[in-house]
Chains A and B, each alone.
Chain A
Amino acid sequence: MCRKGFTSAGFYFICRICPFGGFFDILVGMRRLGFLLILFLWFVPAVAGASTITSAVKEYRLKNGLKVLIVEDHKAPLATFQIWYRVGSVNEPAGRTGMSHLLEHMMFKGTPKYGSKQFSNIISRNGGTDNAFTTKEYTTYFQTIASDRINISIELEADRMANLLLDPKEVAAEKNVVMEERRMRYEDEPQSAVYEDAVAAAFKAHPYHWPVIGWMSDIASIQRDDLYKYYRTSYSPDNAFIVISGDVQPESILTKIEKEFGNIAPTNNKARVNTVEPEQQGERRIYVKKEAELPYITMLYHVPNFPHEDNFALDVLSTILSDGRSSRLYKNIVYEKRLALNASAEYSGFYRNPFLFTFSATAAPGKPIEDVEKAIYEEIDRIKKEPPSETEVQKAKNQIEASFIFAQDSNYSKALYAGMFEMMGDWRLMDKYLEGIRKVKPADVQAMAKKYLTGDNKTVGVLIPIKNSK
């Protein structure tokens, strides 16, 4: 399904390799930033139908703290296995940014039992795919495979939770790979470079400040022993949970999970982020001058995260502004005024701490970026002055609801939904989400714009294209 709302500028998934990670062909019309950096999630997991997933989820917990969520679906002989670790770039110490993501890469580089790259080779040989992604707060590994082979996933994942080699030579080689990845995603992608700088400006204290992939010089300086220590403390059964969705029988699969994971000791890792981003007191503005064709702008506003009570109206607000060609930003700025090639708004609520509400737009050829910026403010002011119509709010609710139902056709996305809510505290929050969205009134949406989309709460990033002498 191609729907807006699954991506977020804030949601930076960095996969081991994207070509095999992007399951969803839902990129049409999204801005480029989205194309390259993000593994598309149903980011605004919606509403009606949520109960149909929650009612299908079964929860178990092993003695060592490992939680297991199982969503049965017998429509096809397939299953998705996901393991989520509660570790991401926010947990990295200064000077070692990018360590979570590098460790994700290294998880494919072997244990004493299965050598380097054996993991993926075994999965492919069995007709499956596997990949992983790292975000600011978690690292997720997944395989989709014939359901009668799901035990292979369980064995391999348990093995690498406990026994990763981290061969120094392999670490050195993989650092080069990640540096190439950084060149591809940031250094040579002008719009991504702007986003990276803007987020860094928006968060001066909170570790959201740095990108998931890390700063180039940090990647270069990470040592094998840093990585090993990080692995030992973060990769444990009590700092992880498993989600399985598909054609499986809970009883037999739990027996297998117990057998493979049951003997891995917990670490009682309590790593949490204590830093609170101080309230912003005035606009911040950054510029990036780079070889590029067209100017680009992004505007970031600090907003609360799920399940804050404002989360729901913020979601509806971003949908009204940006979901589809009937949304306000497309209709008014791209279609009517012809100022921009694309214009979008995204609310990133699925963070453990307050994150961002983001606008971004690429200027149409010949149009000044100042006019694009002004046009976005006009849309914000309009919604502050006048609440959206009942019809508009209902349309947004329908869009969110339908996207949720469409997503249920895929084991992978069902597991992803459950996992994302679990990461926010509890998979049962899915139902709360449903209720929350349904209650949103036009005046609530208006109130969100007034409360958060203010000049002093804003960080602006602008791309100024230059023609280099090269």
Chain B
Amino acid sequence: MKNSKYREISIYSLIFIFAFLFFISSSHAVEIRREVTPNKLTVLQVERHNLPVVMVTLLVKASPLSEPGDKAGIAYLTSKMLNEGTSRRTSSGISGEIEFLGAALDASTNYDFTTISLSVLKKDIEKGFDLFSDILLNPSFKEDELKRKKELLKGALRQREEDPSFVANKTFIKEVFGGHPYGRLVEGSVESIDAIKREDVVNFYHRHYLPANAILSVVGDLTPRELDSLLKKYLSGWSAGAPGINRQTETASGNETDSIAVPARGEVVLVNKDVTQASIILGNLGISRSNPDYYAVQVMNYVLGGGGFASRLMKIVRDEMGLTYSIYSAFVGNKEPGQFEVEVQTKNGSAGAVIEEILKQIRLIMTAPVTDQELSDAKAYLTGSFPRRLETSRKVADFLAAVQFYNLGDDYIEKYPEYINRVTKDDVLRVAKKYLDPENYKLAVVGNEKKLIMDFKK
């Protein structure tokens, strides 16, 4: 999911930011079966019998949006504890059993939700579901396992400080979001991880890991009847309860929340590091996934910097100026307004020149309409790239859960081309003016102070 950007590896997740939700051509329409179980679990199923595999995604509405600030990272930690032991199995028992099947069972958390993913061969589906339901329903959160996991997570956070892009991102989101949960790492910080006690994890789990607070998506070589029997056998014991209140339910999406910092004029935060290349992130508060302008913004961003080699920033800063290997822009459309950002790496000596060009390109797209060619190229890509994005069962499973979570509608797949195709040049100009801000941006630079040349025209 696009939010994993800050969790795992930034470069790979770009493809998700770039083109997050897609649709399918009518000739190969996805037939989705929906049901709500008696214990209030929403279930989505797509049958695909091309391979003897089954992909399961359980999305749980538990994320930084649901956690108290002084326990930042609890959502992530809770998810990472699920396969560290249950009332029936030890940590190594779980990994040993699942890996003997050649299957995978993982849990993780992004800024908006948690997912538990099972990838298993059809012949092993019973065993796979048994393990899946066990870690979901019976995690034991043992004290020694928790301690071990916390040490590992803290160590990993420290190691990632070696990555200039990670440091730039951490610095940038803090500037943009302030005390809002999007302003911190999903993993939390060394201090906040230290502050999490076993009791906190147990309470968080009981409050959020509830069927009414989750979406189950199952795609692959499985019939509805087979799935129903698995659900009855393995998930009917999941007790319905009243979910804890998620933060997002309190906030009208599309609006800035009170805890999001008011950006001050063109602030620069510099982090000194012994690097040959400056890592730069520039941007401001953007929009939420539910903002009606979302599609116009995607088209605009494609032209500006989201379209790889088709985008203006890549053409100019990389191809013409030769100043970078990688530059992109993105609007992260989360449950609550996410960030707009341009990220680039360039040698210390050309940092200022690149920043100046970025600001120039932002101003340009705010003042002059995009060309007809640019508009049609962007639409052609955004609509035409869809089938690729739903090629595998794993992709379909994750996609369906996200569509449901963001309330994109049952007809989202059919409607998507229309959402994109109705965007006009005026829309593009209007949203550029509305959501870009070349005056009140935030700017994070990780570079070598002695070698950095940061002069640029504002």
- Are A2 and B106 touching (Cβ within 8 A)? yes
- Are B95 and A121 touching (Cβ within 8 A)? no
Instruction: Specify which chain A residues have a CB less than 8 angstroms from the CB of B458 in the assembled complex.
Output: none
Q: How far is the CA of A32 from the CA of B251 in the complex (A)?
A: 37
- Are A127 and B384 touching (Cβ within 8 A)? yes
CB-defined interface of B97-120 with A at 8 Å, one 1/0 digit per residue? 001111110101000000000010
- The yes or no answer to B159 lying at the interface (CB within 8 A) is yes
Q: How far is the CB of A402 from chain B (nearest CB, A)?
A: 3
CB-defined interface of A93-122 with B at 8 Å, one 1/0 digit per residue? 000000000000000100000001100110
- Are A121 and B377 touching (Cβ within 8 A)? yes
- Are A183 and B309 touching (Cβ within 8 A)? no
Residue of B102, B155, B325 near A402 (CB, 8 A) is B102
- Are B151 and A188 touching (Cβ within 8 A)? no
Smallest Cβ-Cβ distance to A1: which chain B residue: B119
- Are A181 and B392 touching (Cβ within 8 A)? no
- Are B108 and A28 touching (Cβ within 8 A)? yes
- Are B323 and A409 touching (Cβ within 8 A)? no
- Are A406 and B308 touching (Cβ within 8 A)? no
Q: How far is the CA of A124 from the CA of B385 in the complex (A)?
A: 8
- Are B385 and A174 touching (Cβ within 8 A)? no
- Are B448 and A410 touching (Cβ within 8 A)? no
CB-defined interface of A311-331 with B at 8 Å, one 1/0 digit per residue? 000000000000111110001
Q: How far is the CA of A335 from the CA of B151 in the complex (A)?
A: 11
- Are A398 and B102 touching (Cβ within 8 A)? yes
Smallest Cβ-Cβ distance to B164: which chain A residue: A188
- The yes or no answer to B11 lying at the interface (CB within 8 A) is yes
Residue of B9, B96, B308, B324 near A20 (CB, 8 A) is B308
Most buried by A among B95, B148, B162, B308: B162
Task: Please count the residue pairs between chain A and chain B whose beta carbons lie under 8 angstroms apart in the complex.
Answer: 235
Q: How far is the CB of B120 from chain A (nearest CB, A)?
A: 8
Instruction: Specify which chain A residues have a CB less than 8 angstroms from the CB of B205 in the assembled complex.
Output: none
- Are B104 and A187 touching (Cβ within 8 A)? no
Instruction: Specify which chain B residues have a CB less than 8 angstroms from the CB of A391 in the assembled complex.
Output: 100
| Stretch with Cβ within 8 A of A (4 or more), from B60-68, B179-187, B267-275, B403-411 | B267-275
Residue of A120, A146, A183, A402 near B384 (CB, 8 A) is A146
Instruction: Specify which chain A residues have a CB less than 8 angstroms from the CB of B377 in the assembled complex.
Output: 121, 124-125
Chain A: interface size category: 35 or more
Instruction: Specify which chain B residues have a CB less than 8 angstroms from the CB of A25 in the assembled complex.
Output: 4, 12
- Are A409 and B106 touching (Cβ within 8 A)? no
Residue of B50, B102, B276 near A187 (CB, 8 A) is B276
Interface positions of B from 298 to 329, Cβ below 8 Å from A: 307-310, 315, 318-326, 328
- Are A178 and B325 touching (Cβ within 8 A)? yes
Q: How far is the CB of A336 from chain B (nearest CB, A)?
A: 9
Instruction: Specify which chain B residues have a CB less than 8 angstroms from the CB of A32 in the assembled complex.
Output: 159, 162-163
Instruction: Specify which chain B residues have a CB less than 8 angstroms from the CB of A176 in the assembled complex.
Output: 322-323
Interface positions of A from 2 to 54, Cβ below 8 Å from B: 2-3, 17-20, 22-23, 25, 27-28, 32, 35-36
- Are A78 and B384 touching (Cβ within 8 A)? no
Q: Contacts A188-B277, A395-B99, A398-B100: A341 and B155 contacting too (C-beta < 8 A)?
A: yes
- The yes or no answer to A77 lying at the interface (CB within 8 A) is yes
- The yes or no answer to B28 lying at the interface (CB within 8 A) is yes
Q: How far is the CA of A127 from the CA of B148 in the complex (A)?
A: 46
Q: How far is the CB of B81 from chain A (nearest CB, A)?
A: 13
- Are A405 and B52 touching (Cβ within 8 A)? yes
- Are A126 and B384 touching (Cβ within 8 A)? yes
CB-defined interface of A71-103 with B at 8 Å, one 1/0 digit per residue? 001011110000000000000000000000000
- The yes or no answer to A353 lying at the interface (CB within 8 A) is no
Q: How far is the CA of A223 from the CA of B394 in the complex (A)?
A: 45
Q: How far is the CA of A174 from the CA of B319 in the complex (A)?
A: 7
Instruction: Specify which chain B residues have a CB less than 8 angstroms from the CB of A326 in the assembled complex.
Output: 92, 95-96, 99-100
- Are A128 and B385 touching (Cβ within 8 A)? yes
- Are A294 and B11 touching (Cβ within 8 A)? no
- Are B385 and A399 touching (Cβ within 8 A)? no
- Are B347 and A124 touching (Cβ within 8 A)? no
Instruction: Specify which chain B residues have a CB less than 8 angstroms from the CB of A403 in the assembled complex.
Output: 102
Q: Contacts A3-B104, A188-B277, A365-B158: A124 and B381 contacting too (C-beta < 8 A)?
A: yes
Interface positions of B from 279 to 313, Cβ below 8 Å from A: 307-310
- Are A177 and B159 touching (Cβ within 8 A)? no
Residue of B18, B156, B391 near A409 (CB, 8 A) is B391
- Are A409 and B277 touching (Cβ within 8 A)? no
Smallest Cβ-Cβ distance to B322: which chain A residue: A176
Most buried by A among B104, B309, B319: B309
Q: How far is the CA of A364 from the CA of B148 in the complex (A)?
A: 11
Smallest Cβ-Cβ distance to A74: which chain B residue: B50
Instruction: Specify which chain B residues have a CB less than 8 angstroms from the CB of A406 in the assembled complex.
Output: 51, 53, 119
- The yes or no answer to A394 lying at the interface (CB within 8 A) is yes
Instruction: Specify which chain A residues have a CB less than 8 angstroms from the CB of B154 in the assembled complex.
Output: 365
Q: Contacts A20-B14, A121-B377, A470-B274: A338 and B151 contacting too (C-beta < 8 A)?
A: yes
- Are B51 and A177 touching (Cβ within 8 A)? no
Instruction: Specify which chain B residues have a CB less than 8 angstroms from the CB of A395 in the assembled complex.
Output: 96, 99-100
- Are A409 and B51 touching (Cβ within 8 A)? yes
- The yes or no answer to A408 lying at the interface (CB within 8 A) is yes
Residue of B11, B380, B393 near A36 (CB, 8 A) is B11
Q: How far is the CA of A78 from the CA of B108 in the complex (A)?
A: 30
Q: How far is the CA of A36 from the CA of B164 in the complex (A)?
A: 13
- Are A173 and B388 touching (Cβ within 8 A)? no
Smallest Cβ-Cβ distance to A181: which chain B residue: B325
- Are B99 and A364 touching (Cβ within 8 A)? no
Q: How far is the CB of B434 from chain A (nearest CB, A)?
A: 26
Q: Would you give 10 A-B contacts (Cβ < 8 Å), ordered by A?
A: A1-B104, A17-B325, A32-B162, A126-B384, A146-B387, A173-B321, A183-B277, A184-B325, A364-B155, A470-B448
> Other than the known A32-B163, A146-B387, A326-B100, what 17 A-B pairs have Cβ atoms closer than 8 Å?
A2-B119, A19-B15, A35-B8, A75-B50, A108-B309, A125-B310, A173-B320, A173-B321, A177-B322, A184-B277, A294-B158, A325-B83, A395-B100, A409-B391, A410-B392, A470-B274, A470-B449
Binding site for A on B (CB under 8 A): 4, 8-9, 11-12, 14-15, 18, 25, 27-28, 48, 50-53, 83, 91-92, 95-96, 99-104, 106, 108, 119, 121, 148, 151-152, 154-156, 158-159, 161-164, 272-277, 307-310, 315, 318-326, 328, 345-347, 377, 380-381, 383-388, 390-394, 448-450
- Which 6 A-B residue pairings sit nearest by Cβ, starting from the closest? A127-B384, A402-B102, A176-B322, A19-B14, A325-B95, A181-B325
